[in-house]
């Protein structure tokens, strides 16, 4: 079996097919490393950095945690984000503390904050856009200060042009919980993501070939079944046109920390103002737990219209375009499409793992191959 892509989707499916299905698997990736966008490495200052931007693992899925825990121990970490708004660093997502400090209030209860939101919310009969999603909940002032500029930089489109799901993903709180995520499992792989992937792919039935572009060698390979995790439009040679994505670029800035401390008060600081060209700064040592340390590396994040595909652009026309490719994919019984790029979905890491595990189960149910070892130990 051939698996294209050594990120979450490809690696998990490959491991399951190799261990539980006892199949011989060739995993190829055009990059020179495993782990996909979760790849991490130690820079020249000894700081564990994420090459493709900060990756914070969180999930509510017991199945995903149990699966990945076979390949890693965990270091508890709860991500916190502050937004630089009007000269203040305020908790994001917006919570009671955010509202009190921004407006000089002293709201005491969840009910107080709910009433504050209701007073400012604009009634919208049918919520269609990201602007609708925010304004209908908290009104225009909070929308302008926290959401509009950040979203315009991130997507190069006004929130009024984006599907409601983009901003609806960001919760609004009435309590003082300042954690960015509230999932029951929030932790980082103790030895880093790359090491976790090395263990996932460390099976005698798996061979990994890096720096190998599927489209350059596809006619040279023989296999029974293909699992494809790359861009679905590229697979079909852009038959209906290219699916649009947003990309990212990072400047890595290292600052000396002779006292062993950290530079930022929290892992990430957002910069929603359109006067600032970047969207956020993330200090990796918050995430990796390397403290004390004599240097700290910070990733300054710039959204881009060109580069590696990261974020599918959620609009009705792009979804319709993807549906045309999805129909082509369904007509290929010996090819399975899985993952963020292959299915044109914005997915968190745990969601990709869950999708990969489900994909494996579906392949077994469809009798694409026999399940030799149900445990896969």
Say whether pLDDT at 171 is over 60: yes
Q: CA geometry: angle at 339 spanning 298 and 337, to 5°? A: 155
- Which pLDDT does position 167 carry in this prediction? 82
pLDDT over 60 at 18, yes or no: yes
pLDDT: is 241 or 162 the higher one?
241
Dihedral over Cα of 179, 182, 187, 193: its sign:
negative
* pLDDT tens sequence across 32-89: 999 999 999 999 999 999 999 999 999 999 999 999 999 999 999 999 999 999 999 9
| Exposure of 198 in the CB half-sphere (CA atoms within 13 A) | 10
Token code pair at residue 114:
């709910």
Residue-wise pLDDT tens digits, 271-329: 999 999 999 999 999 999 998 999 999 999 999 999 999 999 878 899 999 999 999 99
- Give the model's pLDDT for residue 21: 81
**How large a percentage of the chain has pLDDT more than 70?**
98
β-bridge mates for residue 163, sequence order: 129
pLDDT of amino acid 20: 87
Mean pLDDT of 372-376: 64
Give the model's confidence band at 375: pLDDT under 50 very low, under 70 low, under 90 confident, else very high: low
Question: Looking up tokens 């199945």, which residue turns up?
Answer: 63
Distances (CA, A) of 94 to 118, 139, 152, 162, 179: 15, 13, 19, 21, 11
The rounded distance, in Å, linking the Cα atoms of 93 and 114 is: 15
CA distance 20 to 359: 14
According to the model, what pLDDT value does residue 206 have?
A: 97
Q: What is the pLDDT of residues 110-167, one digit of tens each?
A: 999 999 999 999 999 899 999 999 999 999 999 999 999 999 999 998 999 888 888 8
First to last CA, the chain: 20
Residue 377 scores a pLDDT above 60: no
Q: What pTM was estimated for this model as a whole? A: 0.94
Rounded Cα gap, residues 9 and 52, in angstroms: 17
CA gyration radius, the chain: 22
């Amino acid at each position: 079996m051939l698996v294209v892509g050594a990120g979450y989707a490809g690696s998990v499916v490959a491991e399951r097919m190799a261990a539980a299905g006892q199949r011989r698997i060739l995993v190829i990736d055009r990059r020179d490393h495993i782990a996909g966008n979760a790849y991490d490495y130690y820079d020249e200052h000894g700081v564990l950095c994420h090459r493709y931007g900060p990756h914070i693992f969180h999930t509510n899925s017991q199945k995903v945690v149990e699966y990945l825990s076979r390949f890693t121990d965990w270091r508890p970490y709860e991500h916190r984000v502050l937004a630089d708004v009007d000269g203040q660093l305020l908790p994001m997502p917006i919570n009671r503390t955010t509202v009190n400090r921004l407006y000089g209030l002293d709201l005491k209860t969840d009910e107080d904050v709910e009433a504050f939101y209701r007073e400012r919310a604009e009634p919208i009969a049918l919520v269609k856009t990201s602007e609708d999603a925010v304004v209908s909940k908290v009104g225009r002032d909070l929308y302008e200060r926290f959401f509009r500029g950040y979203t315009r930089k991130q997507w190069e489109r006004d929130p009024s042009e984006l599907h409601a799901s983009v901003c609806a993903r960001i919760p609004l709180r009435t309590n003082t919980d300042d954690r960015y995520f509230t999932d029951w499992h929030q932790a980082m792989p103790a030895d880093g993501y790359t090491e976790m992937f090395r263990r996932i792919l460390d099976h005698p039935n798996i061979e990994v070939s890096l720096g190998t572009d599927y489209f350059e060698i596809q006619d040279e390979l023989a296999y029974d079944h293909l699992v494809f995790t790359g861009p679905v439009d590229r697979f079909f040679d852009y038959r209906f046109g290219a699916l649009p994505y947003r990309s990212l670029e990072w400047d890595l800035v290292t600052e000396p920390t002779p006292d062993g401390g950290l530079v930022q008060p929290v892992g990430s600081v957002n910069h929603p103002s359109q006067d600032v060209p970047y969207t956020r700064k993330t200090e990796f040592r918050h995430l990796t737990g390397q403290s004390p340390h004599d240097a700290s590396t910070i990733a300054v994040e710039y959204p881009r219209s060109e580069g590696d595909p990261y974020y599918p652009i959620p609009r009705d026309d792009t979804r319709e375009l993807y549906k045309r490719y999805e129909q082509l994919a369904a007509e290929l019984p010996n090819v399975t499409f899985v993952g963020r790029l292959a299915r044109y979905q914005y997915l968190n890491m745990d969601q990709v793992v869950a999708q990969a595990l489900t994909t494996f189960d579906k392949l077994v149910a469809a009798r694409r191959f026999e399940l030799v070892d149900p445990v896969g130990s």
